[in-house]
A and B are shown apart, each in its own frame.
Chain A
Amino acid sequence: MSETSYEPNIVAFCCMHCAYAAADLAGSSRLQYPPFMKIIALPCTGRTDLGHLLRAFEDGADGVLVAGCLEGRCHYQVGNLYAKQRVNRIADLLKQIGLAPERVRMINISAGMGAKFAELANEFARDIQALGPTGLRKAAAGDAANAA
């Protein structure tokens, strides 16, 4: 399988106060970030729970990014710190399941950091591309990519 042709499924849970706005800024500044990254806006990354993160993998994500405010700058004080703890827990669980813990990552950025968002999103996408598919992508009709 050639890495370049492989298009991973990446879900990015983004806090609407920071990362979601930063993604928007990246877009309007015409900065490229992976088009296959599916962004889900949350009121705060503290809204994520273990179930959300894990189900994303079960439903076919090859990587899950959680993007929250800079530490100390969460609109709800510590929502992003809770998210970080959960990301760590999921990384641990992924290992037990038989998946690379690097498939889940937390990043912290502010609303003004459009370029940084694009940079970190691209970096994550490259890492996931290097890891390849999880092998869990639902064998939907016509989805032959997974057979590899």
Chain B
Amino acid sequence: MIVAEQKSLDEIRSLLRGKRKVLAVGCGTCVAVCFAGGKREVGVLASALRMAGQLDGSPVEVDELTVQRQCEAEYIEALKDKLADYDAVLSLGCGVGVQTIAEHYDGATVLPALNTKFMGGPTEQGVWLERCQGCGACLLDYTGGICPISRCPKQLQNGPCGGTDAGGRCEVDATMPCAWHLIWEKMDKLHRQDELLEVRPPKDWSTSRDGGVRRIVRDDLRKPKLESGA
């Protein structure tokens, strides 16, 4: 899932400075399950904004609306007839949600209430960890299902850096396990450690961000076009 975190109330209030009527829009998918931007979080934030505004003499009307998914046009149709009434949309979606609303509603000021952090998942209740950087050429087959791109700060491909401590902790952040220590242990369990001894060539990063803005095109899914004159 995409994991996000709410900005501080102060920061959100400064984004909204001068706005009198705001529509807070939540998203019912990724950011709902990481408790950053679902219906409940919209309720709490809207309530906090209204109260803070009332208390410091800059009252703001905040209405609430949560859609199932902010990142697809169909789902944000629900905003269509409403936006004219508001000075701004405060999106509690991830960055994709914010952009989708901004792109579809030209005249609307769309402001982000969240900081979108990473692709990851919960490792225990209340704790989320980065697990994938979308490198575009997944190598989890080679590493026993543990990602060295997102979980090793140096993104090493051929074993640990040498800084791993005796307890298998990362030298960059001793609260984290060394990804390569985990990989080595896992491959031991799988009786596949010998595979790790093969040296891998440098990773081709052109499939990652280095290759520029990425796009996937699926011709089988696109809307067919009638040939003109057919």
Contact = CB atoms under 8 A, between A and B. Distances in A.
A54 B44 contact: yes
B10 interface: yes
Contacts of A136: 51, 54-55
Nearest to B10: A96
B9 interface: yes
Interface in A70-98: 93, 96-98
Q: Is the interface of A mostly helix, strand, loop or mixed?
A: helix
Given A97-B52, A97-B55, A136-B54, A54 B47 contact: yes
Contacts of B52: 96-98
Nearest to A53: B44
Nearest to A57: B51
Contact of A96 (B8, B40, B47, B50): B8
Interface string A95-137: 0111100000000000000000000000000000000001110
A3 interface: no
Contacts of B56: 98
B43 interface: yes
A40 interface: no
Interface residues of A, number: 15
A135 B54 contact: yes
Contacts of A55: 43, 47
Given A97-B9, A99-B55, A136-B55, A50 B40 contact: yes
A15 to B, nearest CB: 21
Contacts of A135: 54-55
A97 B47 CA distance: 10
A134 B9 CA distance: 19
A76 to B, nearest CB: 15
B48 interface: yes
Contacts of A134: 55
A50 B9 CA distance: 15
A50 B44 contact: yes
Given A58-B47, A96-B8, 14 more contacts: A50-B44, A51-B47, A54-B47, A54-B48, A54-B51, A58-B50, A96-B9, A96-B10, A96-B48, A96-B52, A97-B48, A98-B56, A99-B51, A99-B55
Interface of A: 49-51, 54-55, 57-58, 93, 96-99, 134-136
